[in-house]
């Protein structure tokens, strides 16, 4: 199943029965809270899911956005009306970076039919498609979370990936180089990791680049199909954009997915015994 859905295809799907379950996961690290944007307007029938509170566990040694406990995630998804036999479409404000976290998490939980709205809420409204302000009550869904359907690595495994495969760092170049670090204890990157900023996956409109363009982008980073691939970012959110882009490009697929270092730099940098590389080169 392709990881993206166009605005036109989603509009058609919403007119059909059964229509997809739509989740609004607008989120920004700097705020304001995504719920405020949701209450001001959202796709018809969309249910808001809070990335900080519902799609992540409590911050701590495991990172700023560790994976949620399966039981809690299941309760969240069921309240949102998620069923195993109904497609789920997730969207964010525009660039797909936080929607990709929901896409990946649902896949990790065992859902096999999930897509991100290409261009997000910005594309939807720019085309004059309908919005709503009412809060739907979808009823309880029956989805059962079965964690582990997407691979996850810890710090040691991420370090090994950087040596024997490719480990991609989704943060902005200045954070990768160690010039600034606004969030975490230390600056720099995992030694051997290659910088693959999540902002490179979409254009100015917020829509994702073509598979061919993304394949060329990743080839320039030394990524090849069939090799071990992993990704991380600051806290495990925007790294999911890399994982989606790899699948969109045809480099990985559901049978051979790339891995997420869920703790990401917030976990790595908290351990003073782990080395930090700086500068342009992987190190």
Residues tagged active-site? 233
How many CB atoms sit inside 10 A of residue 142's CB?
12
Local structure of residue 79 (DSSP, 8 states): H
In sequence order, what E strands does 64-179 have? 88-91, 114-117, 152-153, 166-169
């Amino acid at each position: 199943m392709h990881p993206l859905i166009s605005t036109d295809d989603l509009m058609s799907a919403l007119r059909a029965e059964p229509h997809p379950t739509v989740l609004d996961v607008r989120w920004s690290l700097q705020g304001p809270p995504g719920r405020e944007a949701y209450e001001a307007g959202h796709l018809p029938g969309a249910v808001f899911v809070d990335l900080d509170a519902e799609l992540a566990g409590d911050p701590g040694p495991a990172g700023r956005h560790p994976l949620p406990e399966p039981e809690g995630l299941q309760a969240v998804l069921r309240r949102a009306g998620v069923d195993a036999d109904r497609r789920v479409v997730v969207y964010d404000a525009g660039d797909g970076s936080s929607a990709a976290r929901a896409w990946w998490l649902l896949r990790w939980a065992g859902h096999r039919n999930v897509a991100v709205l290409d261009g997000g809420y910005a594309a939807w409204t720019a085309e004059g498609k309908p919005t709503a302000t009412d809060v739907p009550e979808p009823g309880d869904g029956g989805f059962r979370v079965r964690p582990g359907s997407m691979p996850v690595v810890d710090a040691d495994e991420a370090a090994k990936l950087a040596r024997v495969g490719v480990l991609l760092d989704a943060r902005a170049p200045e954070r990768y180089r160690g010039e600034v670090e606004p969030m975490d204890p230390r600056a720099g990157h995992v030694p051997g990791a290659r910088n693959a900023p999540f902002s490179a996956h979409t254009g100015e409109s917020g829509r994702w680049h073509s598979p061919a363009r993304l394949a060329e982008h990743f080839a320039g980073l030394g990524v090849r199909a069939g090799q071990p691939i992993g990704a991380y970012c600051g806290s495990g959110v925007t790294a999911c954009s890399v994982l989606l882009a790899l699948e969109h490009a045809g480099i990985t697929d559901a049978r051979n997915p790339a891995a997420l270092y869920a703790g990401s730099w917030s976990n790595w940098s908290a351990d003073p015994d782990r080395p930090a590389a700086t500068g342009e080169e992987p190190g």
